[in-house]
Amino acid sequence: VTVGDGGTLKRDLLITYTTGKFPDEYVSTVFDNYAVTIMVHDEPYTLGLFDTAGQEDYDRLRPLSYPQTDVFLILARIGSLASYENVREKWVPEVVHHCPGVPFLIVGVGSQDDEELFERARKSNLPHVREDYTRMGEDLASQLVAVNCVKYIECNIFTQWQLKDVFNEAIAAALIPPQRKKRRQRRSWRAGFLRTVNETKE
């Protein structure tokens, strides 16, 4: 399941991956799904891909698509600081609340208009270099390991750079059974950051 702010190109990412072609028009999404058959260790798997709407109007409907999810892709738009902040403030808490224990990847998505976003960010005195967003995503992922964040990875859906890598990583995360932990973890969110407190089982 893909989640993230509106404008993080969730639908375009799924269409480009499943068809090999970048879509040339925008269609607003509430729920949409796609399927593709892939080979993993010479075994065929049908990969079900679900897109969700990021707008606040759909906050109550969106979690209806979460049950039985094997892995989440939480998307942020490279060049949009707000989308990275909302990964931490909104999307990770939502996913962890509804599907505790399910792994997720944070995906920084680029497209053909990256330079326009960087220029807009520069004029607003916001991070405007790609490396800034790479560092931001990697730092965020390292903070969220305790709630099953697999990693941060970037792709470009226009050039298809690392697009397949995103889904290969997601597939690997979904196929690896979660390890049993000797300690329970109580999780709380303070000032947008994760605080994990280990509690030894009695």
Number of structural domains (the chain) is: 1
Residues 65, 58 contacting (CB under 8 angstroms): no
- For 87-128, how does the pLDDT look when each residue is reduced to its tens digit (9 = 90+)? 999 999 999 999 999 999 999 999 999 999 999 999 999 999
Q: Give the pairing type, strands 149-156 and 104-110.
A: parallel
Low-confidence ranges of the chain (pLDDT < 70): 25-31, 54, 56-57, 177-202
Q: Give the pairing type, strands 104-110 and 72-77.
A: parallel
Residues 28, 53 contacting (CB under 8 angstroms): yes
| Tokens coding 135 | 């560092």
Which residue intervals of the chain are DSSP H helices?
Answer: 10-19, 81-86, 92-98, 114-123, 130-143, 163-175
pLDDT value of residue 52: 85
pLDDT value of residue 178: 54
- For 176-188, how does the pLDDT look when each residue is reduced to its tens digit (9 = 90+)? 765 543 333 434 3
Residue of 150, 149, 105, 155 lying closest to 130 (CA atoms): 155
pLDDT value of residue 33: 83
Residue of 8, 56, 3, 7 lying closest to 31 (CA atoms): 3
Residues 162, 156 contacting (CB under 8 angstroms): yes
Q: Is 61 helix (H, G, I), strand (E, B) or coil?
A: coil
CA distances from 101 to 8, 14, 116 (A): 24, 24, 37
List the domain range (segments joined by +) for residue 117: 2-200
Paired residues of 161 in beta bridges: 156
Q: In CATH, what number is assigned to the domain containing residue 19?
A: 3.40.50.300
11: left (phi over 0), alpha (psi -120 to 50) or beta: alpha
Residue of 24, 18, 80 lying closest to 51 (CA atoms): 18
